[in-house]
Amino acid sequence: MKGRARSLTVVGAVFAAAICVAGLAAVASAGSGSASARADATKATAKFRDLGVAEQAGYGLLKDKKGIACIAMDSMPAMGAMGVHYAKAALVGDGKLKVTTPEALVYQPVDGKLKLAAVEYVVIKSAWDAHHASAPSLFGQKFNFTPAGNRFGLPAYYSLHAWFFKSNPAGTFAMWNPKVSCK
């Protein structure tokens, strides 16, 4: 009886310790998960600083319906711009999101050259909503929603910009960067 009580106590202690460790692991992954996801994304996309590498990987110049390549917030210039997008159509249409394979790469025009500034994750709303109960998020950030009738002629979509290669005073995940200009 004495022995059994002891072994129950031991089991109880081990069980309590296991819960405690599981709890800590959950906290750790919630805290560092977005940091490591960000490191993964940056590591996977840094090679696209070379536009030739991006084009070889299937990213092509994206223009809006008016044929404009450098996307700025013309009505509110203080908000800045996005820049020039190179998008991979196969990724935009796949209904999936992965930190290491952004649907678009965003370049800032500098002295006639294009400098990698951000990556952009894009998913068509209907494709996403077909398999998910809520809007997407990556890096702990909720996506922006753009309705149909937009300047790109895309159906309604979710997007998230991540300014991993150029600082953005409006926020790392803001849509527009006041420090980017198309002029």
Is 70 a binding residue for Cu ion by CB under 5 A? The answer is no
Compare residues 86 and 128 and give the one whose CB is closer to Cu ion.
86
Structure tokens at 33: 């998960």
| Tokens, residue 11 | 């089991």
Q: What sign does the dihedral 72-78-79-80 (CA atoms) show?
A: positive
Q: Provide CB contacts within 8 A for 130, sequence distance 6+.
A: 95
Residue 19 or residue 123: which is nearer to Cu ion going by CB? Answer: 123
Binding of residue 82 to Cu ion (CB under 5 A): yes
Q: Which stretch binds Cu ion (CB under 5 A): 53-61, 81-89, 122-130, 131-139?
A: 81-89
Told to check if 91 binds Cu ion by CB under 5 A, we report: no
Residue 77, CB-side half-sphere exposure with 13 Å CA sphere: 3
- Binding of Cu ion by 122 (CB under 5 A): no
The single-letter DSSP state of residue 46 is: G
Query: CB-wise, 32 or 167, nearer to Cu ion?
Result: 167
Interacting residues toward Cu ion by CB under 5 A: 82, 120
